Structure 1
């Protein structure tokens, strides 16, 4: 009888110690970390000279070394630059900080092979490669 009371007391003591060490304010709560794509402000803060535009809620940037090395083929026109914003970082779709209004935006034929969002912009007969800055 004495041994079982001692064992029961020891179990209760261990449970009380373990319960006291837990973080009771987080019991039953699940932490969710939301990852978002970078916006124009974040990109331009890192590099104020970045050449960017926004399309379908994603910021696209040119001058990325590995993208420049790709051989890409222009596919369908998906949009064009409608506004230019050189003064602040509040961007909207089809807005650029350096490309002129009217520059045509194209998809690429090699979508499946490249594994990332890349668009081409045609300007004065030349194609420029822009990579979509997405988290994932």
Structure 2
């Protein structure tokens, strides 16, 4: 009887531990929602463009050589949590997963948020 109890416990412990270690978007593949991004990083500077969420403050994208391409949109109400309405959105020529937002002559880069 004791052997059965120990065996069952050894089987359930890994199951419980793996169920608790996931993060939003992990193993989902695909795009993260605003809710998932903000759960991971509550103070994140984000905006949504064509149903996809982009986040600033990702260090390595600041170091990339990017050429600002054509303007693809403007920030509208409820589209962003920290950007002002009317800021211009540009697509760089080199990458499709980064967008550049310009407001009052200042540029900020945003990375597409995807699950693992």
Query: How does the TM-score come out when normalised to structure 1?
Result: 0.61
Task: Give the alignment partner of residue 106 of structure 2, picking from 108, 113, 126.
Answer: 126
Structure 1 match to 2:75: 81
Three-state SS of the structure 1 residue aligned to 2:71 is strand
Name the Cα RMSD after superposition: 1.7
Query: How does the TM-score come out when normalised to structure 2?
Result: 0.71
1:1-136 alignment to 2 at 5 Å? 35-84=29-78, 95-111=79-95, 117-135=97-115
Residues 109-134 of structure 1, C-alpha deviations (whole Å, 9 max, x = no match): 213xxxx5100000110111101113
CA change 1:135–1:34 in 2 (3 A) is closer
Residues 74-111 of structure 1, C-alpha deviations (whole Å, 9 max, x = no match): 11000111113xxxxxxxxxx00000000000000213
Moved segments of 4+, more than 2 Å? 33-36
Structure having greater relative contact order (Cα 8 Å, sep ≥ 6): 2
CA change 1:34–1:127 in 2 (3 A) is closer
Larger Rg computed on CA atoms: 1
Three-state SS of the structure 2 residue aligned to 1:75 is strand
Runs of 5+ unmatched residues, structure 1: 1-32, 85-94
Deviation at 1:34, TM superposition (A): 5.8
